[in-house]
Copies of this chain bind each other. A is one copy, B any other.
Amino acid sequence: MLLALISQEPRSGYEIRKILVTTPMAHYSDSPGSIYPALKRMEKRGLVRSEEESVGQRKRQRYACTRKGNSALKQWLIKPVNRADVMYNLDELLLRFAFMQALSRRETLAFLADLEQHLERHVIELKKFFAGVKKAMPITGRLAMESGIESYEATLRWARRAKKELASV
């Protein structure tokens, strides 16, 4: 996510932190103890390059994406969708999707097709599992499972709609 934000335009740690508190990405930690060390690690790995600016006495480090950083970002974006990610990291998949403006329509649609397919299978298996155990479950457990299944179904409906919408643009 940091790479994606920096690749949109060069940004400082503080600007990134502000984005993290003022947008729905608030989900992710904006603590200085996570952001600043992460930026330094990325710089050490050659993914970003920092330039020191000075306004009066005040200094700020603005980070820009390197060629290597851009290609790492692209690899992350086009990484094939797998079952495990759909089950455990759906949030990350949607985050990736949010940053796909730089990808081709074809690549973005391929991602959505994969996502749809894995979601479909996952919902089917969840329902199969649920059918086998629901009679033995306490009511709160049963309802919680239904909530999980319905969330996946909502995302599945969204994926289908997103595919149509993107294809028609």
Contacts and interface: CB of A to CB of B under 8 A. Distances in A.
Query: Do most interface residues of chain A lie in helix, strand or loop, or is the interface mixed?
Result: helix
Given A24-B129, A154-B151, A97 B145 contact: no
A100 B23 CA distance: 33
Interface stretch (A41-49, A53-61, A63-71, A161-169): A161-169
Contact of A162 (B100, B138, B143, B165): B143
Contact of A144 (B27, B97, B157): B97
A145 B101 contact: no
A27 B87 contact: yes
A148 B94 contact: yes
Contact of A126 (B24, B138, B147): B24
